[in-house]
Structure 1
Amino acid sequence: MLEPVDDLVLPAESDTVEGEAVESEAEDDDESEDDGESGSETESSEDETPSGPSGVAIKAFSKLTRRYAFSLNQVFCSSQTDLTIGELEEKAELVNGLRTRLLPSMRTQLSALLQSLDLSEYPIHPCPNPESTAEILSALGDLLKETQDAVEEIALEPPLPSAEHDHHLKDLKIFRSNHLLWKTKDIIQNHLCEILSICDQYIVMWEAEGIDREDSDHQARLSNCRKEIVEMSATCKDLMDDLIEWISLSDFGMLQKDWRVSSKKLDRLLAALVEMNNGTFGKPERGDTQTDGEDIRAADEENRARSIQLARSAMPIIKLGRIFYDKLSKTTGKKIPFKLNAGICSKEIDALRNKMDSLDTQIDHILGLVCAIYQTDEHIGSRIKSLKSVTFQAWRCLQAALLTLAFHLQPSDPDGRNDDAHNNFKTWFLVLENQFRLAGSNLKDTVDSCFGEHEEEDESDRD
C-alpha cells in the first residue's frame, strides 16, 4: 500500500503522469470492490447481461476495464539517500522482468484474446468462444495486476533513490522510472482498456437476442467493431514491442529514439515545402469574395509566386534540422563520433530533451506560418512578422541545444587518436550553427523582399 508522506520528492514536470497526484489505496481495494458490488447495481447488471459463458466473459471485460482504466496514478513518496545494493538489485530485477516476461506475456494474451473472439482472420461469420475468452481474461487480469505492482514498486514505492545519486543509477535513473510508469500507464489505460471495452460491446452485439444474424446492418456493425478491435490491437502490440525495446536502451539510445522521430517529422515538413514549390500543396484560398474575379486570380497568382519563393528559402532550415537530428541519432554506417557522458543525471537529461523539443517546435512553427501564407493572404502582415520572430527563435533554440549537447557529449575516441575534423563534434556543431544562422538570415531577406510592404501596411493599420 502506498502512503503519501510529508517529505515529498516530485518528478520533473515533463515526467509527471498528466499532473496526477492521488493516493493509490483504492487500487489495492479494487478486488474487494469488484467482489462486493452494491445490490442494486448487481441486480440491474444481471438483468442486462446474457447468462452462460457470454455473460461470464462480459462481466470479466467490465471488471478489468473498471479496475485498470485509471491505473498507475502518480504518487509522491519520500526518497532515500543511501539505497543498499540489495534494494537496487530488487528494482533492477523488476525492470528486467517487465522486459523479458510481463510485457511479452501481455502481448501473447492479447493475441489469444483475438483468437478466442474469432477475430484473427476476419471471418465472414465469426464464432467467438466466450468460455475461452473468460479464461484468457482471468489470466490477463493476473498479468495486469503483476505488471502494475512491478511498475509501482519501481517508480513509486519507497525506498526511492535520491536525486543526488541519480547519475550513478544507470537503468534505475529517475527519468527512466518515470517514463516507464507513463509508458506502461499509456498502454494499459489508453489502449488495452479501450480494446477490452470494445470487445465487451462486440460480445453483447454478437449475443443479442432477437437479432437477425443475416441482417446486413447487423453484419456491418459487427464488421466495423471487429475492424476497430484488430486495428487497435495492432497498435497496442506495437507499443508493447516499443516499450520492450525502450527498456533495453541506454540513456543516449532513448534520446536518439526521440530524435529519429523528429527527423522523420522533418521529412514530412520538407515534402510539404516541395509540394508548395511544385504548386501541388492544398488549394490557396482567399477570404475576399466581393472583388472582381480577375482581380482575385491576379492577387492569388501574385501571392502564390511569392509564397513559392518563401517555401524555397525555408527548405535549408528544414534540411539542416534534419541533418542535425540524423547526425545525433545515427545508428548505422560509420561509427557516431560522440557519446553521452555516462554520469549525466535525470535532471540534465530532461533539460537536454526540453531544449531539443523547443527547437523541434520552432521549426514546426516556421512551416506552419509558411503554409498559412501560401494558402491565403489574410492577416499576412502579422504572419510574416511572426515568421521572422520564429526563425530567430529557432536559431536561438539551436544555440541552446548545441551548448547543452557540447557539455554532455564526449568523443567516441577519448584518446584523440583520430584528428579528423569531421569527428570533432564541437567543430561540426559550430559549422552547423553558422549554416543555420545563414539560412535564417536568407529566409528573413526573402520575407522582406517579397512581403515587406505588407508588414509596413500592418504597422500603419495599427497606427
Structure 2
Amino acid sequence: SSLLPSLQNQLDSYLNSLDIQDDSRNLKPNFELTCEFLSRLDQTLDQTRECIESAALDIIPSGTHDHHLKELKAFRCTTLMSSISSLTYGLQTLFEMSSIYVQKWHASSQDPESMECQQLASIWKEYARRSGIGCNKTIRQAFLKLQGSDLDIIQDEWQEKAASLTSTLETLTSHTTTPPRRNRSAFRQHVIKLAHLAMPLIKLIRIFYNDFSSRTRKNLRS
C-alpha cells in the first residue's frame, strides 16, 4: 500500500510535465522532466509488480481464512486483483493516449497556423487528461481497499449495488409515468406492466443492501 501514494504522486508529476493537468490551450510540455518522471514511474511499477508476485507466492491456506468468516479473504483478494487489473489497463491507456498527444503536439508546434493541428493536439490532450484522472481514481480506490477491513470492502460493494438500483428505479419510473396514449401498442403496455411488477422487488432489494451495508459489522461482532 505504500507504493500506491508514490505511484499517484509520480503520475501527477508525469502529467504536469506534459502540461496535461490544466485547461490551458497554450501547451508547453517539458520532455526532459517527462523522461525523468517516466524513469521513476518505471521503477515504482517494477517494485509494485515484485510486491504483487511476492504476495501471490505467499498465499494463506484456505483453512485459515478468518475462522468463522471463511470466504472474506478470498473475496478481498478477488476485489483487489480486479482493482490491480483496472489500474494496469488504465495505465496502458494513459501512456497510449499521452504518446499520441505528444505526436499531435509536435505536429501543431511545426505548423502553428494550422487550426486542424491545434484542435487535434487539444483533443488528444483531453483524452490523456481523462485517462490520468481515471488512473488516479483507481489508485485511490485500491488504496482504500488495502487500508480497509474485509467487511469494509463488502459494505462498499453493497453500497455500490444500492446506488445502481436507484438509477434502475428511476428508469422504470419514467416508463410508468409516461402520459397515456390512445394508440399504445401491446408491447408498450407489456413493458409498463413489467415495470410496475419489478419496482417493489427492486425497492425491497435496495432496502436490504442499505440495511446490510450499515449493520453487517455490528452483527458479526455481536
- 1:209 to 1:259, Cα distance in 2 relative to 1, 3 A: closer
Alignment partner of 1:117 is 2:18: yes
Alignment partner of 1:264 is 2:167: no
2:149 corresponds to: 250
Give deviations 1:186-240, integer Å, cap 9, x for gaps. Answer: 20x2101210121112222222499412311111111110111111111111111
CA shift for structure 1 position 248: 1.6
CA shift for structure 1 position 175: 4.1
Do the aligned partners of 2:3 and 2:48 also contact (CA within 8 Å) in 1? yes
Secondary structure at the counterpart of residue 217 of structure 2 = strand
Alignment partner of 1:183 is 2:67: no
Structure 2 counterpart of 1:277, from 164, 176, 199: 176
TM-score, scaled relative to structure 1: 0.44
TM-score, scaled relative to structure 2: 0.87
2:202 corresponds to: 318
CA shift for structure 1 position 122: 1.9
Matched residues in 2 for 1:177 and 1:226: separation? 35
Alignment partner of 1:339 is 2:217: yes
- 1:120 to 1:181, Cα distance in 2 relative to 1, 3 A: same
Give deviations 1:295-338, integer Å, cap 9, x for gaps. Answer: xx7352x55445434322321111001101011112xxxxx3x4
Give deviations 1:238-292, integer Å, cap 9, x for gaps. Answer: 1111111111222211111111111011101100111011218xxx9xxxxxxxx
Alignment partner of 1:196 is 2:95: yes
Matched residues in 1 for 2:99 and 2:202: separation? 46
Do the aligned partners of 2:169 and 2:202 also contact (CA within 8 Å) in 1? yes
Q: Which has the higher helix share?
A: 2
2:211 corresponds to: 327
Secondary structure at the counterpart of residue 237 of structure 1 = helix
1:104 corresponds to: 5
Do the aligned partners of 2:175 and 2:195 also contact (CA within 8 Å) in 1? yes
CA shift for structure 1 position 147: 0.8
Matched residues in 1 for 2:129 and 2:154: separation? 31
Do the aligned partners of 1:266 and 1:322 also contact (CA within 8 Å) in 2? yes
Unaligned segments of structure 2, at least 5 residues:
none
Do the aligned partners of 2:101 and 2:124 also contact (CA within 8 Å) in 1? yes
- The one-letter amino acid paired with 2:82 is W
Do the aligned partners of 2:104 and 2:124 also contact (CA within 8 Å) in 1? no
What aligned pairs does 1:34-433 form with structure 2 within 5 A after superposition? 98=1, 101-154=2-55, 156-157=56-57, 159-167=58-66, 173-187=73-87, 189-208=88-107, 211-279=110-178, 298=183, 300=185, 303-305=187-189, 307-330=191-214, 336=215, 338-339=216-217, 410=220, 414=222
Do the aligned partners of 1:152 and 1:181 also contact (CA within 8 Å) in 2? no
Matched residues in 2 for 1:191 and 1:215: separation? 31
- 1:210 to 1:106, Cα distance in 2 relative to 1, 3 A: closer
- The one-letter amino acid paired with 2:202 is I
Secondary structure at the counterpart of residue 191 of structure 1 = helix
CA shift for structure 1 position 136: 0.4
Matched residues in 2 for 1:318 and 1:210: separation? 55
- 1:218 to 1:308, Cα distance in 2 relative to 1, 3 A: same
- The alignment yields a C-alpha RMSD, in angstroms, of 2.6
- 1:134 to 1:315, Cα distance in 2 relative to 1, 3 A: same
Do the aligned partners of 1:151 and 1:181 also contact (CA within 8 Å) in 2? no
Do the aligned partners of 1:103 and 1:244 also contact (CA within 8 Å) in 2? yes
Do the aligned partners of 1:122 and 1:226 also contact (CA within 8 Å) in 2? no
- The one-letter amino acid paired with 1:314 is A
- The one-letter amino acid paired with 2:211 is K
Aligned residues: 219
Matched residues in 2 for 1:209 and 1:304: separation? 53
- 1:196 to 1:314, Cα distance in 2 relative to 1, 3 A: same
- 1:182 to 1:271, Cα distance in 2 relative to 1, 3 A: closer
Do the aligned partners of 1:252 and 1:339 also contact (CA within 8 Å) in 2? yes
- 1:270 to 1:178, Cα distance in 2 relative to 1, 3 A: closer
- 1:116 to 1:329, Cα distance in 2 relative to 1, 3 A: same
Which shows bigger deviation, 217-226 or 178-187?
A: 178-187
